[in-house]
Structure 1
Amino acid sequence: MRIVDIRERSASIESDIANAYISFSKMTVSVVAVVTDRIVDGKPVVGFGFSSNGRYAQGGILRERLIPRIMEADPDSLLDADGLLDPIAVSKAALSNEKPGGHGDRAVAMGALDMAVWDATAKAAGLPLWNLLAERYSGGRADETVMVYPGGGYYYPGKGLDALQDEMRGYQDDGYSVVKMKIGGAPLKDDVERIEAVLKVVGGGHNLAVDANGRFDLETALAYSRAITPFDLFWYEEIGDPLDYALNATVSELYPGPIATGENLFSHQDLRNLLRYGGMRPDRDWIQLDPALSYGLTEYLTVLQVVDQMGWSRRRFIPHGGHQLALNMAAGLGLGGSESYPGVFHPFGGFADDCVIRDGRATLHDTPGLGVELKQVLHAHLRSILELD
C-alpha cells in the first residue's frame, strides 16, 4: 500500500453564531485527502480528514512541512506488518525535525492529516474505524452505542429565550437527553435567565451542561459558580483560559459540581499538566481533548497512556468536536461519549445520515473507515473541494 497523493484545501464553515469569546463569521477548516494505490471494489482507497471548528485552516503548515515529509519518506517505512499504512509511522514522518512544545496550529494541521490516514487504513483493512480500534487497542471490545450530547445554545442576533427553548426541544425530539448551551456572552443575570429557561424544557440540571469558552477571570468564574450551583448541572465547561490551571483548580475547590475542560489543549503533555495542576477530580470531572485539533488519533493513543498512568478512567473523556472521528474513537477505545453538532458547522458537524440517536446514545456505522461516505453532503463537498473525480 502506497500513498500516491495528499491533497489539502481550506473550507469555510462561516456562521452568524458566536460563543462567549469568538464569532464564527469567518471560520475555516483544513480538509485533506490521502490517495493510495490500494484498490477496493475497483477504486483507489482515499482517506478523508478535516480539522475541527474553533481553529482556522492550516494550509501553509500542511503544504510546506507535513505533507512533503511524508511524500519524501521511504514508502516501506510508512507500512505496518500487514502492508497497510501505519498511522503512527506516518505521523512520525510528518512531524520529523519539529522542536518539542509550541502545540497549537501545528497540532491542528496534523489532526486533519492524521484523520485521513486512519480513514485510509481502516478502509484498506475492511473495517469500520471503531472496529479497527477495538481490535488493536481494546481487546476486541467496543461499545454498541455511544453517549452523545449536542453542542448548541449559541448566541446569535435576535435569539431570545423562546428561540433558545425551541432549539433545546428540537434536540430532545432528535433523541438527545443531555444538551449544552453557551454562557459568558451576556451579563450573569441574563445568563441565569437563559439557563432557567432551558431547564424548563430539559427537565432538570442533570440534563444541561453550560460552556463559558474560557471567557472568565477568577472573580467572574466564582460569581457564575455560586449562581449555578443550585441548578446541579451536568457540567460547567471551560471556565477560564485553557492554560490557567490555577484558576481551574481554585474553582474546583469551591464549586461542588462537575467541571469539564481540555478542548483547547493540544498534546499529551498539556493533558498531563492539566491533570497535575488543574484541580481536576477523577470522580466527577470531564476531559474534552479534541483529536482533530491535537495531532490526531495517533496522539490520543499517547493521551490514553497518560490517563492510565495517572489513574483516571477513560470514561471521563468525551472528545470535543462533534465529528465522526470522535464517535468512532469513543466506541472503539471505551471513552465516555462524544460531542455532536446536529445544528451547526455543516457539513462537517454531525454523524452519518442514518445514525440513530435514542435516549442520548448514538448508533454506529458498519462501513469500512471513518464513515464519511455515509454523510452524503459532506462526502460530496470533500470530493468537490479536493478535486477528486
Structure 2
Amino acid sequence: MKIIDIREITQPIKSDIRNAYIDFSKMTLSLVAVVTDVIRDGKPVIGYGFNSNGRYGQGTLMRERFIPRVLEADPATLIDETGENLDPHKIWATMFMNEKPGGHGERSVAMGTIDMAVWDAVAKIAGKPLFQLLAERYGNGQPERRVFVYAAGGYYYPGKNLDALKSEMLSYTGRGYSVVKMKIGGESLADDQRRIEAVLGVLEKGQRLAVDANGRFDVATAVAYAKALSQYDLFWYEEAGDPLDYALQAELANHYAGSMATGENLFSMQDARNLIRYGGMRADRDWLQFDCALAYGLVEYLRTLDMLRENGWSPSRCVPHGGHQMSLNIAAGLGLGGNESYPDLFQPYGGFPDGVKVDNGYITMPDLPGIGFEGKADLYAEMKKLAS
C-alpha cells in the first residue's frame, strides 16, 4: 500500500465581489489529487483536496517541498499500525520535516490542502464516509448527521444597492437557511447600518443576521461599530480587527455583550491557543472559525480541538470558515457547531453534494465514501481531469 503520485493544479475562483479588505478578481486555489495503489471497485483510490477561498494557490510550495517529501519517503513509514491504511499523522509529520516552528505563512495552506486529500483517500480505503470514520476514531462513535449551516454573502460589488442586497438575502432564506451573513467595513458606519437594517427588515421570526468586518478595523473603529451594533440582535460580530491583534479582540469584549466570532485567519494550534489565552473570547457565547484547509489540515485541527477542551471550550463553539465539504465532515463526525456555506459563490468548490437541501438551517450528511466530492457533479468533473 502506497501513494504513487500527488498531483496539483492552480484553478481560478475569481469574482468581482469584495469585502472590507480584498477583492476576489484574481483569486486562485490549489486542487490536489493523492493517487494510491489501492484498488476499490476496480479503480485506484484517489483522494482529493483544495484550499479555501481568501488565500491563493500554493503549487510552488507543494512541488518544491511537500510533495517530494511524501513521494520520497519509505512507503512503510506512511502506513498505520493495522497495515491496512495510510496514516495521515505520519504523512503530516513527513511533510513537516525540515520546517521550523512558528512563522507559518502560506505553508499551512499547502499542507492543509494535501492533508485534505489524504483524509479523503483514507476514508475511501476504509469504505466509509469521512464523518463516520472520524466519529469512530476521535469521537463517541456516533456522528451527528444533521449539521447547522449558514449562508455567507452580502459582499460589496459595483452597482449593488439595498434592493439587491435584500434580494440576495431573501434568496438564501428561501433556500432554507435560517442564518445569513453580510460584509461590513467597506463603507462608512452609517452606510453599513443602513445595509444592516435593510436586511433585518426582510428577515422573518427565527432568522438571524451575522456581520463580518474581515479584519478591517483599528481599536477605535471596532469599538464604535460594537456600540452601534449592540442595538441589533445579531447572530455574531465577526473579525473586527487584525486576526493576530489579540489585545484588540480582548478590548472589544468589554464593549460588545453579544456573540463575537473570529479565527479563520489563524493557521496553527499555537495561534489558536494565543487567541484563547489573550483574545478575550468567551466560551459561553463566542464562536471560533478555524479552517482546517488553511491551517495545516485535520491533523492540526485535532490538536486545536484538544487544546480547546483543555481550556474549557466545547467543539460545539466551532463553526469553520470556508464552506467546503471537509469541514462539514468534521462538524458531523466531531460535534462542531456547524459550518459556513456559500450558496452562490466560489463554485464549484463550495456547497454540498447534489440533492442535499437546507432545511431550517440544517443539512443531512449523505452516505458517500470519503469526503463525498464524487456526489457533486460539477466539482468532481474538475477533479477527474486532474486525476486522469
Q: How high is the TM-score relative to the length of structure 2?
A: 0.98
Aligned positions of 1:153-192 closer than 5 A: 153-192=154-193
CA distance in 1, matches of 2:145, 2:371: 16
| AA matched with 2:274 | N
Q: Does 1:242 align with 2:234?
A: no
Q: Distance in 1 between matches of 2:69 and 2:160?
A: 47
Q: Is the 2:178–2:206 Cα contact (8 Å) retained in structure 1?
A: no
For 1:279, give the aligned amino acid: G
In the superposition, relative to structure 1, how do residues 239 and 204 fare at CA in structure 2: closer, same or farther (>3 Å)?
Answer: farther
2:68 aligned residue? 68
2:7 maps to 7
Cα offset for 1:141?
Answer: 1.7
| Structure 2 residue identity aligned to 1:54 | G
On the 8 A contact 1:267/1:295 being kept in 2, the answer is yes
Instruction: Verify: 1:356 aligned to 2:357, yes or no.
Output: yes
Corresponding residue of 2:19: 19
Corresponding residue SS for 1:253: coil
Determine the C-alpha separation between the residues in 1 that align with 2:297 and 2:202: 36
Aligned to 1:42: 42
Deviation at 1:353, TM superposition (A): 1.2
Structure 1 range deviating more: 204-213 or 40-49: 204-213
Is the Cα contact below 8 Å between 1:147 and 1:360 reproduced in 2? yes
d(CA) in 2 for partners of 1:9, 1:215: 31
Residues 256-275 of structure 1 mapped to structure 2, 5 A cutoff:
256-275=257-276
Counterpart Cα distance in 2 of 1:283 and 1:364 = 27
Aligned to 1:124: 125
Shift of 1:155: 0.6
Quick check: 1:142 aligned with 2:143? yes
Q: Secondary structure at the match of 1:88?
A: helix
Q: CA deviation at 1:206?
A: 6.2
Are residue 381 (structure 1) and residue 386 (structure 2) matched? no
Q: Check the 8 A contact 1:205/1:232 in 2, yes or no.
A: no
In 2, Cα distance between equivalents of 1:191 and 1:55: 26
Which runs of 5 or more structure 1 residues have no equivalent in the other structure?
Answer: none
Letter of the structure 1 residue corresponding to residue 95 of structure 2 = A
* Residue 365 of structure 1: how far off its partner (Å): 1.6
Aligned length: 387
SS at match of 1:248: helix
Deviation string 1:52-97 (CA, Å, 9 cap, x unpaired) is 0000111111000000000111101101123201111111101111
**Code of the aligned partner of 1:40:** R
RMSD: 1.0
Which stretches of structure 1, 4 residues or longer, exceed 2 Å deviation after superposition?
Answer: 203-206
Whole-Å separation in 2 of the counterparts to 1:240 and 1:276: 17
Taking the aligned partners of 1:139 and 1:189, their CA distance within structure 2 comes to 48
Contact 2:178 2:207 in 1 (8 A): no
Q: Does 1:277 align with 2:278?
A: yes
TM-score by length of 1: 0.98
Verify the 8 A CA contact 1:6 1:33 in the aligned structure 2.
Answer: yes
The SS at the match of 2:45 is strand
- The alpha carbon displacement at 1:232 in A equals 1.8
Alignment partner, residue 287 of structure 2: 286
How far off is 1:356 after superposition? 1.8
CA deviation vs aligned residue, 1:197-240 (integer Å, no higher than 9, x gap) = 00011236960100000000111111111111010210000000
Give the letter aligned to residue 165 of structure 2.
L
Give the drift of 1:382. Answer: 2.0
Counterpart in the other structure of 1:97: 98
Q: Is the 8 Å Cα contact of residues 205 and 233 (structure 1) preserved in structure 2?
A: no
Offset at residue 254 of structure 1 (A): 1.2
1:351, distance to aligned residue in structure 2 (A)? 1.3
Partner residue of 1:223? 224
Deviation, 1:144, is 2.1
- Distance (Å, rounded) in 1 between the aligned partners of 2:75 and 2:152: 40
Other-structure match for 2:198? 197
Distance 1:215 1:109, change over 3 A: same
Cα deviation 1:332-358 (Å, max 9, x = unaligned): 000000001111001111111121210
**Structure 1 SS opposite 2:136:** helix
Look up the match of 2:325. 324
Letter in 2 for 1:11: Q
What's the secondary structure of 2:195's corresponding residue?
A: helix
Amino acid at match of 2:113: A
| Residue type of the alignment partner of 1:289 | F
Amino acid at match of 1:265: L
Which sections of structure 2, spanning at least 5 residues, go unmatched? Answer: none
Instruction: Name 1:28's counterpart in structure 2.
Output: 28
SS at match of 1:202: coil
Where does residue 345 of structure 1 map in the other structure?
346
Q: Show the counterpart of 1:115.
A: 116
Q: Is the 8 A contact 1:206 1:232 kept in 2?
A: no
Task: Name the counterpart of 2:152.
Answer: 151
Q: How far, CA to CA, are the matches of 2:364 and 2:343 in structure 1?
A: 15
Q: CA deviation at 1:151?
A: 1.0
Give 1:10's aligned amino acid.
T
Is the contact between residue 10 and residue 29 of structure 2 (CA under 8 Å) also seen in structure 1? yes
